[in-house]
Structure 1
Amino acid sequence: MLQHRRMLQPPFSRSRVGQFKPVQKREAVRAALCMVRDPEHWAKAATRFAVGVVLDISYGIELKWTGSCNNNNPYVALLDDASTAIGNAGPPASSIVDRWPLNKWLRLEEPLLTRELAARHLPAWLPFMERLRYARKWRSAIVQVTNFPFSAALREMLSTSIEKTTKPSFVRERLDVFRRNQQAGVDNDFGMDDIKGSAATILIAGSDTNPRVQKRARTEIDRAIGTTTPTEMRRLPTWGDMNKLPYLALVLQEVYRSNPLSPLGIPHATLEDDEYRGMLIPKGTVVYPNAWAMAHDPLVYSAPDEFLPERYMPRGSITIGQTKDDAAPGRGESLPIGNFGFGRRICVGRTLAENSLLIVFATILATLEIGPPGGEDGQEDQDVQWSFRGQAYPLPFRCSIVPRSDMAIRLLEDSAGVPEAT
């Protein structure tokens, strides 16, 4: 894992992630167009956006675009299986092989080796083996998502030669370094499996709006792109507009805080004995940073269960995009922490993920109106249910998605580079 992290850091540093912005913009436009053409299955558009971005960035493979998100793409299916495997496996480090000190019983010095041996050979009929049985059942999905796209990318590069493959991707860069080192007789400090494992990490990691918040964010976006009315819309948001969208950036922070992707965080084992407020934490203890509790601490966040992007603005401020009559005043609260990990273990793809979300949020809000479903009760609020099995994500729910104007549709179609839907 440390080897993978060292390989991932350079291409995803803040100074270099800009090379991937064209991919993120393209997939954001296609996601919005998917929602226009098939609003009932809007979740497929979100999935396609995530897969399209990370597949291209990781492997240099552009997800086939047919103008619809209903095509049975093998890469989408692979990631869906892998996400199911990870999302329903329960909290990390919670299986029997993580909780029992098998290395002490077997007198082995390497805990990870002990866990691997136990995961492979412990009989499935033992008590408390549900998680291990689940892992064995879904292991092939993880193997496939590691090998299949890597093999496809490698074939593509070898067929044209790596030197002529100018499209930036993580795999292309690492293969180029690997080849140059071999030709120069320099030992590589990584192997092919490290390249595949790191790229798969990116791929897996990369799988009703509040009306008041939506209105305020859209007003800010319209001002940035020069839209006075939806019918007079002349362009879509660009990367040059992002620094003009401070409220949208706060919406993103509130998304992080209100529902952390990993509620219990990523567990780590202590390297030595430690003490916290008089309590001993022995070496080897698995520690969970409770991201959900930190994000909903009422001592830090007033009304923690409410979605309030304004909470991060300076206290009393109403300066972002609205007047006194339409604004919720700032509360001067701290930005959330821990959404991407902590300290040296913070997610190396943080900037990449934030860029992806900003451009897709801006594109969708600029072109679409999202609201409660019509019909039965006409209520604006729904009780959206969430799954918290390992990862937090909303269960399927209905909503209304309509384009803001015919001009918005035309701009999306022109930017997506596809013919009219049939």
Structure 2
Amino acid sequence: MLTITNVTWLNLLCLTGVGVYLVKQVVIKKNPKPYPPGPRGWPLIGNVLDMPRIKPWLTFTEWGQKYGDITHIEVLGRHIIVLNSVKTTMEMLDSKSTLYSDRPVLPMGGELVGWKDSLPFLPYGDRFRRYRRNFHRVIGSRAAVDVYNETEEVETRRFLKRVLAKPDQLQEHVRHTAGAVILRISHGYEVKESNDPFIDLANRAITNVSEATAPGAFMVDILPFLAKVPAWFPGAGFKRLAREWRETLEEMVSAPHKFVKDQMADGVAPMSFTSNLMEGCDMSAEEDYAVKWSAFSLYSGGSDTTVSAIYSLFLAMTLFPDVQKKAQAEIDAVVGPDRLPTFADRDSLPYIDALVKEVLRWNVVTPTGFPHCVTEDDIHDGYYIPKGSLVIPNVWFMLNNPRTYANPSQFNPERFLAKDGKEPEMEPRTVCFGFGRRICPGIHLADASIWISTVMSLAVFDISKVVENGVEITPEVEFLPGTVSHPKAFKCSIKRRSATAVGLIEQDANY
């Protein structure tokens, strides 16, 4: 694997080559305004050595504290703008969305692996708008998502059963259930209880893209011409890796789509995102392609992020038992012991809603979001933002800014409840689902999945620290690098709250 950390002779040769290229391309041009401030770069290579490789959001935060809300670096001629405040991000990515809604070309993840046709990576244009229309038509509002409430509830009840039976396999259960929910909604596919081929495919594809798109992970993203290097060339292992990942992706995109088309041909297809879009239509090849990738985009955009959030919930409940007790007291008072909570209870459970918000804030699932790309030169706050610049919102700092959130490292749902005349702190969903025309189109579906998992789990389980050899084990709060950040694997004790709770869990999940 050729990474930015492996400084080999090939890397040096490439850097020399690009340096010569840049020298030849130098054109003296006076900028209309100065670039935003940032770390000083080197001649020719710019800030290539400053670009963070591990947990870039922490370095971006340091830059923000030193240089202000807008930081500029230049890497081999490519301008990168890092945003460290909600106000500035909204002004640029929301209010000026006509300029800031494009996506950069990602040589590794987008071009070589093939994710360029999925919604998060699509350039702004006609195909992007078609995908968005597909999403809006099927899951574009809370009312539209309500159609899938029963699916969410059924799959979450199955999740409770799995956890009760094998609590030590929590992470696997969370991932299996998130995939089951999305595949039923996207393709009407009901997964097998274990060893499901689509779940396995999807998990591999999602893991691959998180690695492929992590900032600084592959030198080809810094030096795009490396994509032309043959796979046999020394140091070009990334080409062979990309080929493997591409095969997995192509199978995951095509196989569920074929499953729906076959079921529709037989007249037995259940309602789903895909069947809804294809029903009664004589589709062209282009329209069929758009539906196929739209449905896959729904899966890829929703499953891994949901896994991270729900796993974070269990970590938080392990570490903050007082929060868990308050949440359970609210559920007991409103729902009672005789049934499981449902979506119908949501408006009556304000503390649970605040708890879900705090989960989204405390572990920022996409800490640096997805980079935007500028389509035209812009002047913002007196700074020059050139066409083609990458714009990276530091979402992690926005949700951990001590000026916005009191004691941000503390898990405290009450920050989102009006109390004693004090206004709630900033709604985290304002920033954690993206910005402008690139805001996550599955926001309502993701929010519903996290909420129902939270309320049902807390209704029947007590979550606590594991005791080993008489010693209580406190999990480490460590969020791993990647485009989607997950909590580091941890141990926790998950036990039934009562015999009544077991009865509720054991009820037929297909009620």
* TM-score band w.r.t. shorter chain: 0.7 to 0.9
Does the CA contact (< 8 Å) of 1:387 and 1:394 recur in 2? yes
Alignment match of 1:275 (pick from 369, 373, 379): 379
User: CA offset at residue 386 of structure 1?
Assistant: 2.2
Residues 1:36 and 2:172 are matched in the alignment:
no
Residues 1:294 and 2:398 are matched in the alignment:
yes
Residues 1:169 and 2:264 are matched in the alignment:
no
Residues 1:354 and 2:457 are matched in the alignment:
no
Partner of 2:292: 196
Which structure 2 residues correspond to residues 5-154 of structure 1 after superposition, within 5 A? 5-14=132-141, 15-65=143-193, 71-91=194-214, 99=222, 119=227, 121-124=228-231, 134-154=241-261
Which structure 2 residues correspond to residues 308-327 of structure 1 after superposition, within 5 A? 308-316=412-420
Which amino acid in the other structure matches residue 136 of structure 2? Answer: Q
Distance 1:256 1:201, change over 3 A: same
User: CA offset at residue 380 of structure 1?
Assistant: 6.4
Unaligned ranges ≥5, structure 2: 1-121, 123-127, 305-314
C-alpha separation in 2, matches of 1:42 and 1:204? 21
Which amino acid in the other structure matches residue 175 of structure 2? Answer: T
User: CA offset at residue 125 of structure 1?
Assistant: 7.0
Q: SS state of the match for residue 177, structure 2?
A: helix
Which structure 2 residues correspond to residues 140-289 of structure 1 after superposition, within 5 A? 140-160=247-267, 165=269, 167-179=270-282, 190-205=286-301, 206-207=303-304, 208=315, 209=317, 210-226=320-336, 233-289=337-393
Percent pairwise identity = 32
C-alpha separation in 1, matches of 2:376 and 2:357? 34
Distance 1:61 1:126, change over 3 A: same
Does the CA contact (< 8 Å) of 2:212 and 2:218 recur in 1? no
Which amino acid in the other structure matches residue 435 of structure 2? Answer: F
C-alpha separation in 2, matches of 1:90 and 1:395? 19
User: CA offset at residue 385 of structure 1?
Assistant: 2.8
Q: SS state of the match for residue 384, structure 2?
A: strand
Unaligned ranges ≥5, structure 1: 66-70, 103-117, 183-187, 227-232, 318-329
Does the CA contact (< 8 Å) of 1:367 and 1:405 recur in 2? yes
User: CA offset at residue 300 of structure 1?
Assistant: 1.2
Partner of 2:507: 414
User: CA offset at residue 331 of structure 1?
Assistant: 6.6
Which amino acid in the other structure matches residue 360 of structure 2? Answer: Y
Residues 1:401 and 2:508 are matched in the alignment:
no
* Cα RMSD, aligned residues only: 2.5
- Comparing 359-368 with 78-87, greater Cα deviation is found at 78-87
C-alpha separation in 1, matches of 2:278 and 2:445? 21
- Comparing 121-130 with 132-141, greater Cα deviation is found at 121-130
Partner of 2:456: 363
C-alpha separation in 2, matches of 1:381 and 1:13? 41
Does the CA contact (< 8 Å) of 1:257 and 1:295 recur in 2? yes
Which amino acid in the other structure matches residue 202 of structure 1? Answer: L
User: CA offset at residue 98 of structure 1?
Assistant: 5.0
1:212-236 deviation per Cα after TM superposition (whole angstroms, max 9, x unaligned): 111111111111112xxxxxx2111
Distance 1:171 1:383, change over 3 A: same
Which amino acid in the other structure matches residue 140 of structure 1? Answer: E
1:333-371 deviation per Cα after TM superposition (whole angstroms, max 9, x unaligned): 111232111122111110011111111111100011111
1:128-172 deviation per Cα after TM superposition (whole angstroms, max 9, x unaligned): 967665433311121121011111222122112xxx64x321110
Q: SS state of the match for residue 288, structure 1?
A: strand
- Comparing 372-381 with 360-369, greater Cα deviation is found at 372-381
Does the CA contact (< 8 Å) of 1:92 and 1:266 recur in 2? no
1:368-415 deviation per Cα after TM superposition (whole angstroms, max 9, x unaligned): 111111224643632133211221001221110111122212212214
User: CA offset at residue 288 of structure 1?
Assistant: 0.8
User: CA offset at residue 85 of structure 1?
Assistant: 0.3
User: CA offset at residue 89 of structure 1?
Assistant: 2.0
C-alpha separation in 2, matches of 1:398 and 1:149? 34
- Comparing 282-291 with 6-15, greater Cα deviation is found at 6-15
Residues 1:333 and 2:440 are matched in the alignment:
no
User: CA offset at residue 62 of structure 1?
Assistant: 1.4
Does the CA contact (< 8 Å) of 2:154 and 2:510 recur in 1? no
User: CA offset at residue 257 of structure 1?
Assistant: 1.2
Name the TM-score, length of structure 2 as normaliser.
0.67
C-alpha separation in 2, matches of 1:376 and 1:331? 46
Does the CA contact (< 8 Å) of 2:369 and 2:483 recur in 1? no
C-alpha separation in 2, matches of 1:189 and 1:313? 50
Distance 1:396 1:351, change over 3 A: same
Q: SS state of the match for residue 287, structure 1?
A: strand
Which amino acid in the other structure matches residue 137 of structure 1? Answer: E
Aligned residues: 368
C-alpha separation in 2, matches of 1:127 and 1:257? 43
Does the CA contact (< 8 Å) of 1:32 and 1:412 recur in 2? yes
Q: SS state of the match for residue 11, structure 1?
A: helix
